[in-house]
């Protein structure tokens, strides 16, 4: 795989994941963007950051965009190059708006733009590689595909795996022959088995959703928020969350009147109160105003799946929240 471009610029949207009950599988892209300009060099890696994250983010090979470029090029068998990056960030860091996902996706989009066969890093392949870095695809899918997405990782239950092993040999041999045939039919690079097998679909919104984001002046590390989650939850809570997640898909498509019920979560938000009590208090205050509010990703931002009137905005701003009503970004990452 050859490098055919030595300069490119990409733009990637902020994202909000979970949307209440859609834990680790639902997300949407917002009209708030980071822009990254890449230039191939022969010197050491250099990164220049303006805006969000300035003087905080690494300026060498440890920068997440650089790591994603490296991984993307390796995955398709392309040569590595020297890297100079100029990053203009609008997405707040460590606020639950997908700043790490945007960095990973922008790096992979850069890798795709500079190689001779960009189809080797199509959207589905990018999602697999990005999930390898991020661990879960909820923020990554909307950053890649745009709009509202459902995404996950194909997993086999222990029972299913055990049953498969008990099948008679003709079935197993047939499967192996088919896989071998598929391998020989394509001359595209084959991703290592280390990359997870992901899936993603888009949810089409038909009523002009305009989400509102409430941004605090404090940060929260995602790992800290995840550490508060229990290993087990009551069966009734899990069942209620599945029902609400299914309802949320329909509500986001064309039934906004269902959003209040559909955004009720039993799986993660309340367990995280200790890490962000102000966010939970705001979320429930907004819900008391009949606004479908949720914690954005791991927090501490709060997302309302609707426009918010000026009076509500003013009251939140008076106690320290920055409020922005945004559009859905329906395109996802793109080359400029």
pLDDT tens digits along 28-85: 999 999 999 999 998 899 999 999 999 999 999 999 999 999 999 999 999 999 999 9
CATH class of the domain defined by 7-153+331-335? alpha beta
Cα–Cα distance measured from residue 13 to residue 31, given in angstroms and rounded to the nearest whole number: 6
Provide the residue ranges of all domains of the chain, joining segments of one domain with +. Answer: 7-153+331-335, 158-194, 211-325
Strand-pairing partners, residue 295, are 302
Per-residue pLDDT band for 183 (boundaries 50, 70, 90) equals: very low
Cα–Cα distance measured from residue 144 to residue 137, given in angstroms and rounded to the nearest whole number: 10
Count of other CB atoms within 10 angstroms of residue 217: 10
Tens of pLDDT, residue by residue over 219-232, are: 999 889 999 999 99
Does pLDDT of 164 surpass 80?
Answer: no
Give the per-residue pLDDT at 176.
52
Cα–Cα distance measured from residue 251 to residue 230, given in angstroms and rounded to the nearest whole number: 28
**Token representation of residue 60:** 């060498």
Mean pLDDT of the chain: 92
Cα–Cα distance measured from residue 86 to residue 334, given in angstroms and rounded to the nearest whole number: 16
Give the per-residue pLDDT at 169.
57
CA distances to 156, 159, 166, 331 from 162, rounded to whole Å, are 10, 5, 7, 41
CATH class of the domain defined by 211-325? alpha beta
Per-residue pLDDT band for 163 (boundaries 50, 70, 90) equals: low
Rounded to an integer, the average pLDDT of 273-292 is 97
Region for residue 225 given its phi and psi (left: phi exceeds 0; alpha: psi -120 to 50; beta: otherwise):
alpha
Length of the chain: 336
Does pLDDT of 266 surpass 60?
Answer: yes
Rounded to an integer, the average pLDDT of 313-332 is 97
Tens of pLDDT, residue by residue over 208-257, are: 999 999 999 999 998 899 999 999 999 999 999 999 999 999 999 999 99
Q: Note whether 7-153+331-335 and 211-325 share their fold.
A: no
């Amino acid at each position: 795989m050859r490098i055919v471009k030595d300069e490119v610029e990409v733009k990637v949207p902020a994202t909000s994941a979970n949307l209440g009950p859609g834990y680790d599988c639902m997300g949407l892209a917002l009209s708030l963007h980071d822009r990254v300009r890449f230039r191939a060099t022969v010197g050491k890696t250099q990164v220049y950051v303006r805006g969000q994250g300035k003087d905080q983010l690494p300026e060498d090979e440890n920068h997440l965009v650089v790591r994603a470029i490296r991984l993307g090029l390796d995955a398709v068998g392309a040569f590595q190059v020297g890297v100079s990056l100029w990053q203009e960030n609008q997405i707040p860091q460590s606020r639950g708006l997908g700043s790490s996902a945007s960095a990973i996706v922008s790096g992979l989009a850069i890798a795709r733009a500079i190689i001779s066969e960009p189809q080797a890093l199509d959207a589905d392949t990018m999602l697999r590689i990005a999930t390898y870095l991020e661990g879960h695809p909820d923020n990554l899918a909307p950053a890649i595909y745009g709009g509202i997405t459902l995404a996950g990782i194909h997993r086999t239950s222990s029972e299913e795996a055990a049953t498969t092993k008990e099948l008679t040999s003709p079935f197993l041999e047939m499967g192996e022959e088919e896989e071998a045939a598929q391998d020989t039919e394509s001359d595209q690079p084959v991703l290592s088995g280390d990359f997870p097998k992901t899936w993603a679909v888009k949810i089409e919104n038909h009523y002009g959703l305009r989400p509102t984001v409430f941004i605090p002046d404090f940060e929260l590390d995602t790992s800290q928020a995840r550490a508060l989650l229990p290993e087990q939850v009551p069966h009734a809570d899990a069942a209620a969350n599945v029902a609400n997640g299914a309802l949320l898909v329909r509500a986001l498509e064309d039934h906004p009147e269902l959003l209040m019920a559909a955004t009720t979560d039993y799986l993660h938000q309340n367990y995280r109160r200790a890490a962000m009590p102000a966010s939970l208090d705001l979320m429930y205050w907004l819900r008391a105003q009949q606004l479908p509010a949720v914690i954005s990703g791991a927090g501490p931002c709060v997302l309302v799946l609707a426009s918010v009137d000026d009076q509500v905005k003013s009251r939140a701003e008076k106690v320290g929240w920055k409020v922005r009503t945004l559009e859905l970004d329906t395109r996802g990452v793109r080359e400029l």
